[in-house]
Amino acid sequence: MTENNVVISKGLEGVFISDTTLCKIDGSKGKLWYRGYPIEVLAEKSNYEEVAYLLLYGKLPTKKELSTFEDRLKDEREVSEEIQTIIKTFAGKSHPNDVLRTCVSALSAYDEDMSDRSNDANMERAIKLIAKMPTIVAMIGRQNRGKEFIAPRNDLGHSENFLYMLTGKKPDEESARLIDLMFILHAEHGSNASTFSTLVTGSTLSDVYSAVVAGISTLRGPLHGGADEAALKMMKAIGEPDNTESYIESALEGKQRIMGFGHRVYKAYDPRAKVVYNYLKTFMKTTTDEHVEKLLEIAIRAEKLMEEKLSKTKGIWPNIDFFAGPLYTAMDIPSDLFTPIFASSRMAGWTAHLFEYWTNNRLFRPLDNYVGELDLKYVDISKR
């Protein structure tokens, strides 16, 4: 290709960066697989610990393997006093995702041998990060609410324990299942922006902590991890369910973006959103919270209108971010924790991608096409 015939793929759209056995997305048909398993099957039959094991080790665990893995996660849930001090110092002053990023950076100080880059050592780091992230996020949420930290319970599952540490109440069966479902659906999603950032940093042969901090930082933006927070903000602006149609119509006329709709990959209904939508309708029948009920109704009415207006004609369908906010709200999770929860869930996917990429590592070094002037005459500062 000559310099005068450069093809630029904005946002690297359509560019393949590596082979993978982790995730397959068929955007035209709205299909998603983790390690070959349809997401709908995993959502129905699995739990987060089993999905994390699948992503990290490449296979579904036996009963004994899963039990051992669950015990390892439980053993690593605690965080040090120093990490807790970071949370107490910065929570309330910075966005929770920024506090989380700082805490994960600090976790490297407790690594026994950062020079050990063996597969076993890196897998231990992944397990520790997966285990500690929900603890940190729950503590940030507690600190922001002016409440004392709650110690983890080893009789509770991974995501169920997170909800307990955040709210102070053992979640009911429906809430426990729902939060676990959200962790599963956010665990992995191909080479999205945050995963790519993780790989770019990792391709320098940096360490696991540095790589995933890059992922956490990338997740911060409203076009990626912050989309569910932005979608909920829109629903709150709508206020009353009967305002939904007029608000959406007005936004579309003004060519405003409706947060939670459209996806770079999916040209059909996001399969994760379909799973969540079914739970949303179930919650509608059981909730007694008027505020939550209004949010859920707004979401359902907005989805219906958008499907009529754009989904079938322009391929703009709801994604998981649109429905996540109302359901998190139903579980008493504040909106500023949505992105950190996303990061906690995605830690399994980030580290699995990183380890896979390292098996055939190549430093990322793309090119840019210079379009400026050349050989300009330097003018002395006294004559400018």
- Is residue 100 a contact partner of residue 140, using CB atoms and an 8 Å limit? yes
CA distance 164 to 357: 35
Burial of 121 (0-12, 13-18, 19+ CB in 10 A): middle
Which H or E element spans position 33?
strand 31-34
Residue listed under structure tokens 């590596």: 18
Contacts of 43 (CB under 8 A, 6+ apart): 181, 184, 185, 275
Which residues are bridge partners to 26 per DSSP?
Answer: 31
- Is residue 216 a contact partner of residue 118, using CB atoms and an 8 Å limit? no
CA distance 155 to 62: 20
242 secondary structure, DSSP code: G
User: Of these residues, 207, 263, 270, 353, which one is catalytic?
Assistant: 263
CA distance 77 to 15: 38
User: Of these residues, 321, 332, 353, 375, which one is catalytic?
Assistant: 321
Calculate Rg over the CA atoms of the chain.
Answer: 22
Which H or E element spans position 23?
strand 23-26
Q: Which two tokens stand for residue 152?
A: 């983890």
**Residue 263 among the catalytic residues:** yes
CA distance 348 to 102: 19
CA distance 210 to 225: 19
**Residue 321 among the catalytic residues:** yes
Pairing of strands 37-38, 23-26: unpaired
Which residues are catalytic, by number? 263, 321
